[in-house]
Amino acid sequence: MTAPPIKADADAWGIPRYGVLAPNTAEFQRLAGVVMRDRNVTAKMLDARSAEFTECEKSDIKETGRYAQAIRAI
């Protein structure tokens, strides 16, 4: 069974898992650092990812923390 497109994108982009008891703050900080240093990532791409994760927050209730942290990291 494959992941739904929403989760598949989050997984492909290296978005860490998020849990209330283990928010993985360090992993999200590493993600932010990787994104900042990647010269291939454009502002347009970041805007698109942010918009997608905002929609993901609304449709994937179980993973809202993951998407909210992803938006903050990117």
Pick the more confident residue, 74 or 22.
74
Per the domain annotation, does 57 fall within a domain? yes
Per the domain annotation, does 13 fall within a domain? no
Give the model confidence (pLDDT) of 11-45 as tens digits.
888 888 877 666 688 888 888 898 889 999 999 99
Looking at residue 5, its pLDDT comes to 54
- Cα 23 to its chain centre, rounded Å, is 13
Per the domain annotation, does 59 fall within a domain? yes
Contact 10, 3 (CB under 8 A): no
| Total domain count, the chain | 1
pTM of the model: 0.71
Contact 66, 10 (CB under 8 A): yes
- Domain hosting 72: range is 32-74
Contact 29, 40 (CB under 8 A): no
Looking at residue 27, its pLDDT comes to 85
Per the domain annotation, does 51 fall within a domain? yes
Per the domain annotation, does 61 fall within a domain? yes
Distance CA 42, CA 20 (A): 31
Give the model confidence (pLDDT) of 43-62 as tens digits.
999 999 899 889 888 888 88
